[in-house]
Amino acid sequence: MGSDSTPATSAPTDCLGHADEECSLTIHRRDLLLTGTLAATAVAAGATTTVAQVDTSARPSAQADAGAAAYVAPSSEQKINVISLRDIERQAEKVLPPFGFHFIAGGSGDEWTLRENEAAFDRLVIEPNFLSGVKAPDPTTTILGAKLSMPVLASPMGMHGFAHSGKEAGTAKGTSAAGTLYVTPSVSNLSMEDIAAAVGGGARWFQIYFPEDPGYAREQLQRAKAAGYTAIVLTVDATSFGNRERAAKLGLKPPPHLGFGNMPKSPALAGQNPDLQKKDLTFDDVAFCQKESGLPVIVKGVLTPDLAAACVTHGCAGVWVSNHGGRQLDHSPATISVLPRIADAVGGKAPIIVDSGIRRGQDVFRAIGLGASVVGIGRPLLYGLALGGAQGVEAVFQRLRAELVMTMQLAGVASVDKITSRYVSATAKL
């Protein structure tokens, strides 16, 4: 999610990521300004009620400004009991300010893709192999040299200050405590260096939205390498801003005081900000990231076999299957529905990450069975952060890990590498 220290003129960015996501929660200043610009656009164009049905009279500008300035995110640091990742969404809604909750929870357009991300899992069944002799399954795995306690990592999500006063440091600490991998968003409240320090010795990657100015891109990439990040995640599905309407319909404004940690450091880059992104991305930009960082580059936002195959051809270290948690192009496919064809196109030549819609250990199992190496989760981590800080984030991971181990034991699978398509079947055409 965007920054509040950025200049007022800005272009779109991503949030959640998803994700979703799944949220990718990586938003930008324009995302934050959406509620205000909707009303302004309506006035300028002589529109009436056709703009997202925003009732500006119900919340005058001064009141919206005051509400934004008074935004207070939760600050609890405590253990939480996670029985279901869906339950904690409802619990988080009770403690988050309305703008923060709906910004995190919402998708784009009619939110069809947001819903489909989860619904598509319901069209897949697990076919167990009983009498397998499996007693204690091992959920650990490795990706690009990083050893993980489970095949689940933290998707890049921006502006964690919406969810908790500890911002990204809490999410990073909770992820590290769970023994898995944290992906730092370039659009974050804290700097990539501060987040790296919070991760400590844990595995970490850095996610980037490619800026218009290649010098700014170079600076971010080199800072990431210097801070000890071991891979770059280039998000390619947010070159234009998705119509995220849920928060806009509240007629509220985003808080102006959360801060942004990755503004340019070089005086030569004055005036640049992460909302000024390059729209016409090509594989030349992938090569730029590879060259300037000297690190493995993963492309995030892959939804077709053709793009996945092209990523492999161009030397990408990994393919990230994502629809941004349903926050970008509505009516794009659920990631689990395209995963098998993408896995076929990659042909084992690169690891595959998939996010969007993961809510159960059974979802993790089915995604691995259909070709993913690991999965990413987004929104549930922010809900855990809101409810318990770093300990809440760790609890979300631990719940998924416990459900995955249960699923593996009941299905008769001893290790992650043994989870294959033989255990997953479609109940309807994907």
Taking a C-beta distance cutoff of 8 angstroms, is the pair 358, 364 a contact?
yes
Instruction: Tell me the pLDDT tens digit for each residue of 121-134.
Output: 999 999 999 999 99
Q: Please state, as a whole number, how many other Cβ atoms lie within 10 Å of the Cβ of residue 263.
A: 17
Active site residues: 324
- Percent of the chain at pLDDT > 70 equals 83
What 3 state SS string does 252-314 have? CCCCCCCCCCCCCCCHHHCCCCCCCECCCCCHHHHHHHHHHHCCCEEEEEECCHHHHHHHHHC
Higher pLDDT, 428 or 102: 102
Span 321-345, average pLDDT: 97
Instruction: Tell me the pLDDT tens digit for each residue of 209-268.
Output: 999 999 999 999 999 999 999 999 999 999 988 888 887 787 766 677 888 899 989 989
Q: Taking Cα atoms as reference points, which of 315, 274, 321, 323 lies closest to residue 297?
A: 315
Query: What confidence score (pLDDT) does residue 7 get?
Result: 33
Instruction: Tell me the pLDDT tens digit for each residue of 262-315.
Output: 998 998 998 887 778 899 999 999 999 999 999 999 999 999 999 999 999 999
Higher pLDDT, 47 or 80: 80
Minimum mean pLDDT among 112-116, 149-153, 263-267, 314-318: which range?
Answer: 263-267
Query: What confidence score (pLDDT) does residue 317 get?
Result: 98
Six-digit token string for 131: 């009498």
Q: Alpha-carbon distance 130 to 410, whole Å?
A: 7
Higher pLDDT, 100 or 36: 100
Q: Alpha-carbon distance 215 to 222, whole Å?
A: 11
Q: Alpha-carbon distance 394 to 89, whole Å?
A: 16
Q: Taking Cα atoms as reference points, which of 110, 93, 96, 112 lies closest to residue 357?
A: 112
DSSP 320: E
Query: What confidence score (pLDDT) does residue 67 get?
Result: 61
Whether a cis peptide bond, with omega within 30° of 0, leads into 21 is yes
H-only helix segments in 49-148: 61-69, 85-95, 98-105, 112-119
Q: Among positive and negative, which fits the CA dihedral 324, 378, 67, 57?
A: positive
Higher pLDDT, 29 or 407: 407
Query: What confidence score (pLDDT) does residue 65 get?
Result: 61
Minimum mean pLDDT among 176-185, 239-248, 372-381: which range?
Answer: 239-248
Per-residue pLDDT for 367 more than 60?
A: yes
Hey, what amino acid is at 174?
A: G
Beta bridge partners of residue 231, listed in sequence order: none
The kind and range of the H/E element at 204 are: strand 204-208
- 3-state class (DSSP) for residue 124: strand
Q: Taking Cα atoms as reference points, which of 70, 100, 73, 99 lies closest to residue 249?
A: 99
DSSP 211: B
- 3-state class (DSSP) for residue 208: strand
Rg (CA), the chain: 20
Query: What confidence score (pLDDT) does residue 46 get?
Result: 33
H-only helix segments in 97-166: 98-105, 112-119
Fold of 17-426: TIM Barrel (3.20.20)
Per-residue pLDDT for 418 more than 60?
A: yes
Six-digit token string for 214: 């290649």
Torsion angle of the four alpha carbons 215, 217, 221, 224, in this order, in degrees rounded to the nearest 10 = 110
Pairing, β 318-321 against β 352-354? parallel
CA max distance for the chain: 71
Q: Alpha-carbon distance 311 to 334, whole Å?
A: 20
DSSP 343-396: HHHHTTSS-EEE-SS--SHHHHHHHHHTT-SEEEE-HHHHHHHHHHHHHHHHHH
Beta bridge partners of residue 125, listed in sequence order: 425
Per-residue pLDDT for 53 more than 60?
A: no
Q: Taking Cα atoms as reference points, which of 99, 26, 104, 39 lies closest to residue 69?
A: 99
Q: What is the pTM of this model?
A: 0.86
Span 69-86, average pLDDT: 94
